[in-house]
Amino acid sequence: MALKVELKPNERIIIGQVVIRNDEQRTRFFIDGDAPILREKDILTAASADTPAKKIYLAIQLMYLAQDPTLEHDIYFELVRDFVQAAPSSLSHIHEINNRILSGDLYKALKAAKKLIAYEAELIENATRV
């Protein structure tokens, strides 16, 4: 079944190995086939990945865009190890991400990594609240 995508004016989306940027009007289109698809709101760049959880997200995002779950295992696992060491209570989130990667579902792994980012923000916010 085709995937329906709707873009706001000037919104960008990654499909496969290209970036598509919308013009001034809203656009709606359908995508058939099998390519990594990422909306602008889901995309992190090296510059915006400025917390440990976002770095994990970025690593998975790279795997997803390359459609290669074996990409840079070393980096990924070092990030994950450090994270679990710093925040053991995040293990169930990490576990879900790992499971998704293991079963080859990198998009779901990204979704799970999003939860990890939210959880990280919660932990930090709790700790810094005055």
Partner 1 sequence: MANPILTSGVRQNLLTLQQTRDQQSVIQNRLSTGKKVNSAIDNPVNYFTSLGLNDRSNALTGLLDGISNGIQTITAASQGIDAISKLVSSLQSTIKQAQADAAANRPSAIGGTSSGGTPPATLLGKIGGGIYTGNKSAKDLALDTTLGGTEAPASYNSTTGVTTDASLGLSAGNITLSIKAGNTTFVSTTLTATSTVRDVVNEINRSGIANASVDSSGKLNVTGTGSGTLQIGIAANATAATALANSQSDTLSQNTVLGLPLTTANTGIAASAGNSTVRTNLINQFNDLTKQIDQLAKDAGFNGKNLLSGDKLSIIFNEKTGSNQAKLDVQGETITAANLGILQAVSGTTVTGQFNIQDDNALNNMSDILTGALTSLRSTSSTLGSSLSVVQTRQDFTKNLANTLTTGADNLVSADSNAEGASLLALNTRQQLSQTALSLANQADQGVLRLFQ
Residues 20 to 59 in contact with partner 1, rule: CB under 8 A: 43, 45-47, 49-52, 55, 58-59
Helix (H) or strand (E) run with residue 19 in it: strand 18-21
The three-class DSSP label of residue 55 is helix
Tell me how far apart the alpha carbons of residues 68 and 8 are, in angstroms, rounded to a whole number. 30
Instruction: Name the segment binding partner 1 (CB under 8 A); options: 2-10, 24-32, 110-118, 120-128.
Output: 120-128
Task: Show the site string, 73-92: x = touches partner 1 by CB under 8 A, - = not.
Answer: x-x-xxxxxxxxxxxxxxxx
User: Rounded CA gap, 9 and 94, in Å?
Assistant: 35
93 binds partner 1 (CB under 8 A): no
119, HSE (Cβ side, Cα atoms, 13 Å): 19
Closest approach of partner 1 to the CB of residue 117, in Å: 11
The phi, psi pair for 64, rounded to 5°, reads -65, -45
Nearer to partner 1, 7 or 61 (CB): 61
State how far the Cα of 109 lies from the Cα of 96, in Å rounded to an integer. Answer: 7
Which parts of this chain interact with partner 1 (CB under 8 A)? 12, 14, 16-19, 43, 45-47, 49-52, 55, 58-59, 61-62, 65-66, 69-73, 75, 77-92, 94-95, 98-99, 101-104, 120, 123-130
